[in-house]
Amino acid sequence: MSKADQILQEKNVIMKKAVGIDYDIFEQDGIAFDYERMMRESGYTIEELQEIQSHFFVGNTPIIELYNLTKLARQYAKPGYGARIMIKDEACNPSGSFKARRASISVYEAKRLGYKGILTATSGNYGAAVASLAAKEGLKCIVVQETYDSRHVGQPEIVEKARACEAYGAEVFQLSVGPELFSTFLQLLKDTEYFNASLYTPFGIAGVETLGYEIAIDMREKYGKDPEAVVITNAGGGNLTGTARGLIKAGALNSRIVAASVDLSGLHMASDNAFNRKSFTTGHTGFGMPFCTNPDRSDVPRSAARPMRYIDEYYTITQGEVFFMTEALANLEGLERGPAGNTSLAVAFSLAQQMKEDEIILVQETEYTGAGKHLNPQLSFARDNGIEIKFGDPKDQVPGQNIILPSDPAMITAVPVDMDRLRRSYLKNLQPQMEGRELSELERTYLKDELKLNDEQLEQLLNGDD
């Protein structure tokens, strides 16, 4: 047995020691586990979360109305339509993204429990957020990145993030694409006995609940109502899960939760060949779809990021449309922001045209942009890797072959995802645990909660009915 296989067999023991959570106590009958108990016992109240984050100067970010982008959307909408487009400007957080909310709770927990250091596996904003706040608390920090393909070529955004982490005093391990990321991460956790600042613990999700909560409270104070729709870029699911839970805790039960991902269908994220043929490191279908249909594929025994519980609608957008919207935001609104939030903004621009003028569609996060995140180095990197860049109709995009920027804003079109197809895929992943037996009532209740279904809808899916 290889050293990597040996360390993988110790996963649950290492994780329990590294996060201070005994996941076994939440397991129930068959496939079920008590998700809400896990969140309740391992989490904090909204008030406690806000107090912790205020210590780190995290949160309380502004909501900005995009008057010019709204005006542009209305040019393509029928009379009386074209919702007001707004953003929650999370670039104002330390390290420049909403990930500071997630990092704040993990860093606080690590300090409270007496860990000497904190460790995270991430290629993007979260690593910088953890490194930033760990420095503030005097904790050592290690960031493990999946950075390179086999040619030792790294994407501009990921390479930039390594520099940011190092600037905050973190030690960065840069690895090539493949399975070594997780085994290396586990080995480091075992050797250092540091706290695991996983994106998928209850702490990581609870930190984002303040974002959803702030949206509801701020919108009511300024506009007298909740937004009709909140658009959330979806990758591993934690951003969407936390924001939705925060909105629910604030009583914003009628705001539609809209997921958004960049369409990178056909590109396998663990493929060495495909690794540098994508121009987005997160917020794309290569993460969004697998983590919807198999949330426990994460680095903890039970993931607290469970987006299927909350999604009302899911849309994809192309790379070219996101790049176009990035430039439009800068040119029309004077806001230069990175691609993660602009994925949701591109979807919001399309959906706003189908909503009434007095309605509000809100993009729940922005991120900073910099040398590696900016669209120019991203497009240059794509061209260097043989990707054709041109203007035209984005619907003709072939991920990994071309990036087509819309020749007219009217071409920006959010494409709906079949939610029942995702639900069927989720059930297929559970099939080995369900095959040949009748599901208990507890398991059925669990599945209804997991997949946001009623009794009749669940039965139809279990019976294979369309």
432 Cα distance to chain centroid: 28
Distance separating alpha carbons of residues 390 and 412, to the nearest angstrom: 15
pLDDT attached to residue 83: 98
Closest CA to 65 of 227, 212, 211, 210: 227
Closest CA to 281 of 405, 99, 90: 99
- Tokens coding 396: 């003709």
The count of other CB atoms within 10 Å of the CB of residue 68 is: 15
Distance separating alpha carbons of residues 123 and 145, to the nearest angstrom: 5
Distance separating alpha carbons of residues 422 and 315, to the nearest angstrom: 12
The domain at 56-95+203-416 falls in which architecture?
3-Layer(aba) Sandwich (3.40)
Closest CA to 437 of 34, 35, 29, 33: 29
Distance separating alpha carbons of residues 224 and 96, to the nearest angstrom: 29
Contact 385, 400 (CB under 8 A): no
Q: Which amino acid is at 432?
A: P
pLDDT along the chain (466 residues), means of 10: 79 85 93 96 91 97 98 98 98 96 96 96 90 97 92 88 94 87 90 94 96 98 98 96 98 98 88 84 90 92 96 98 97 96 98 98 95 89 94 96 97 98 96 90 97 96 82
The pair phi, psi for residue 128, each rounded to 5°, is -65, -40
Distance separating alpha carbons of residues 242 and 213, to the nearest angstrom: 10
DSSP state of 170: -
DSSP state of 409: G
- Tokens coding 48: 């406690």
- pTM, whole model, 2 decimals? 0.96
pLDDT attached to residue 214: 98
